[in-house]
Amino acid sequence: MQGISAVTTFKSTQAQGTLASDIAYRFGEQATTIRSGDIAIMDNDGVFILSVDIAQQLLSGCQNKHREDEMELQRFFKAYHNSELDKLFND
């Protein structure tokens, strides 16, 4: 059995710690609780924690935006392939 820490990506052959527990996190004057199931989104600028409830509320709109962006990307590739980028950006 191979375990993965719920707090880090440290891999271990010994499962230790408590899974599915909340983490109270404080940074200066700000405090938040990270709950089991929350989504952690990270980049070079920091970490954003998205709760499951908020993610479910945003899902439909995000999927619609993704479809729109995908259609626009395909439109761009078609114009590029047909050497029509000027036409695309001048419309």
DSSP letter for each residue of 46-57: EEEEE-HHHHHH
Which residue from 23, 68, 63 is spatially nearest to 47, judged by alpha carbons? 23
State phi, psi for 85 to the nearest 5 degrees: -65, -40
Please say if the pLDDT value at position 87 is more than 80.
yes
Q: Where are the domains of the chain?
A: 1-50, 52-91
Give the chain's largest Cα–Cα span: 61
Query: pLDDT tens, 16-73?
Result: 666 667 888 888 898 888 888 888 888 888 888 899 899 999 999 999 999 999 999 9
Q: Residue 65's pLDDT is what?
A: 96
